Amino acid sequence: MSENTPRDEDSPSCDAGDHDRQPIRVDDVTCQRAAAIFRALGDPQRLRLLIMLEARECCVSELAAVLDEPLPAVSQRLRVLKSERLVSSRREGKHVFYGLADGHISRLVTNGVMHAMEES
Amino acid sequence: MSENTPRDEDSPSCDAGDHDRQPIRVDDVTCQRAAAIFRALGDPQRLRLLIMLEARECCVSELAAVLDEPLPAVSQRLRVLKSERLVSSRREGKHVFYGLADGHISRLVTNGVMHAMEES
DNA sequence: ATTATAGTTGCACATCTATGCAACTGTCTG
DNA sequence: CAGACAGTTGCATAGATGTGCAACTATAAT
């Protein structure tokens, strides 16, 4: 009676044929890093920024203008994205250009958006 | 003087050769749905659950036992995941089995974890 | 019907996070 | 140097979110 898993006699027959795929072993640190990345992606406005940056590098004021948001707000969001290394920045004169940190990010974003569009 | 974009004379030469990829047009609703999905993924404990469910269906008490968490906590987290349609549940006698809602989710999770492992 | 096991829900509380605005830094121009 | 434009940072506040615990529901067994 000390069992918590339903793998013995009081369990139904559901799991007999289930193919136990080898679970990915993920250490706590990685898990937290991954969660942090997802959390950074978990805001509509930040996601908008990433979607724009997927097309090309943009400077902060351009992003603010296109998205019709106050510039400090955009800068803040970019800061969050940068702290998770989702974007990188580059200064060019008066302007600071932001771009996706690497191609992976694009896949991540696109995947999520696709999934959001497909269902429902 | 009303320009916000640095595309005219006060702009440096950085963007001349930039390949403006066609941006994905994403409507607000989709953007919010996507963000909500990412937000649901943005918690280490919830991510842990999904990683476990990637291997096979599990009932709540099993998840609670393996992750060493109070059962109500696990149930709560599963609720959040279910509200975003990341997992589905199925009752079998006394047990409720949870599994990933579809194969897409697995890709989404794996992608994020991979990215978290690769960098730094 | 009573008891035990499995899950869910509700509530209170602490924590985090987003937001707006003002002040500051940095860069170029005249 | 002063002024204008581009970004960043700090701070206060309101709203969202995670957590723990207790109470409740559901299913099965005796």
With cut-offs at 50, 70 and 90, classify the pLDDT of residue A5: very low
In this predicted structure, what is the pLDDT of residue A118? 83
pLDDT, averaged across chain A: 86
A34, B111 Cβ separation under 8 angstroms: no
In this predicted structure, what is the pLDDT of residue B17? 39
Q: Is the CB of B104 under 7 A from strand D?
A: no
List residues with CB under 7 Å of strand C. Answer: A 1, 3-4, 6, 39, 42-43, 45-46, 69-70, 72-73, 76-77, 80, 91, 93-94; B 10, 59-62, 64, 71-72, 75-76, 78-79, 89, 94-96
In this predicted structure, what is the pLDDT of residue B118? 83
With cut-offs at 50, 70 and 90, classify the pLDDT of residue B8: very low
A44, B31 Cβ separation under 8 angstroms: yes
**Structure tokens, B98:** 């949870």
The whole model's pTM is what?
Answer: 0.86
| A17 has a pLDDT exceeding 80 | no
Helix (H, G, I), strand (E, B) or coil at A91: strand
The identity of residue B91, as a single letter, is R
In this predicted structure, what is the pLDDT of residue A7? 41
In this predicted structure, what is the pLDDT of residue B119? 66
Q: Is the CB of A19 under 7 A from strand D?
A: no
First to last CA, chain B: 43
Q: What is the pLDDT of residues B29-63, one digit of tens each?
A: 999 999 999 999 999 999 999 999 999 999 999 99
Going by C-alpha positions, the residue among A87, A84, A82 that lies closest to residue A101 is: A87
Q: Do A23 and B52 touch (CB under 8 A)?
A: yes
Percent of chain B with pLDDT over 90: 76
| Minimum Cα–Cα distance from A68: chain B residue | B4
In this predicted structure, what is the pLDDT of residue A20? 65
Q: What is the pLDDT of residues A51-97, one digit of tens each?
A: 999 999 999 999 999 999 999 999 999 999 999 999 999 999 999 99
Q: Which long-range contacts (CB under 8 A, 24 or more apart) does B60-66 make?
A: B60/B95, B60/B96, B60/B98, B61/A4, B61/A5, B61/A6, B61/B95, B62/A4, B62/A5, B62/A6, B63/B98, B64/A4, B65/A4, B65/A5
